[in-house]
Structure 1
Amino acid sequence: MKLLHIVVGAFVLFAFLLTGQYMDYLDVRSGALGDATRMMFRSRHIYILLSGLVNLAVGTYFVRRAGGWRRTLQTTGSILVLAAPLLLLAAFFTEPGLPGLRRQFTLPAIVILAVGTLLHAFSGVRAGRETVELKQKQNEVELTD
């Protein structure tokens, strides 16, 4: 999972650069598309950056939990964090063209990203003590062998 988060994060950051070039191609800054459309493009663009950075951060610090409920929370969190960029990329290309300020992809993506991040955080609460105890037991086993 560690490598997957890092690779997805890097690809999403590259996609962030490409979506920036796409906005420049459309000349979003000029306001010719209208204020609402400009705001939609820019906000989705920044959300793509957010999802890429969260994936990189999770990948950088990822340590597989020992098991049980902590691992379940961590795995579920990883799946959610990895899914969010796909929804945000879909939002970037579809939502600015919709009438009004409809957010059929953005809202679920941001909620998924937030919940996934919180699940990762909860999976690590007070896990440090368990990790130290597990390492001590492993050292004791090695000494007796």
Structure 2
Amino acid sequence: MINEYFMESPVGYLKITESGDAIIGLDYVSEEDVAYNDIPNDTVEQCIAELDEYFAGKRSHFDVPINLAHKGTSFQQKVWHRLYEIPFGETISYKTLAIDCGGPNYSRAVANANGKNPISIIVPCHRVIAHDGSLGGYTGGLDKKEALLGIERKRTL
């Protein structure tokens, strides 16, 4: 059974998708796309609480169970698992991520996988930046990426 819950956050509305006692999706949605909420189960409640703590600068690591196995190619899953390992408050370049996931010529492939990350924020694709230090792209929008990195910079100072 799939459980969906919508929440408002400092970076906009989020849709949390849960199945099998694990988060399988965390996506940005517009206010117009916010729909009826299912009754949150324990996993969704934990996710909401941890996101609230993260946005308040009180959490640097997520403990809510996630499941990436049901989506993406094996390469995308490799990228997403590597994203999950990027420490809070740190960034890496697309080039570094490419090298970690197969080779320096994989930058475009890792950028594509990054953009298809099904669990935004918790799997921190916002921590990947361009080699020159600029933000690069972000599915949720650069304003959201900048806000998330700002939350983490404040917490690490």
- Do they fold alike, i.e. is TM over 0.5? no
TM-score by length of 1: 0.22
Structure with bigger helix share is: 1
| Structure ranking higher on relative contact order (CA contacts 8 Å, 6+ apart) | 1
Bigger Rg, structure 1 or 2: 1
TM-score in terms of structure 2 length: 0.21
Q: Which has the higher strand share?
A: 2
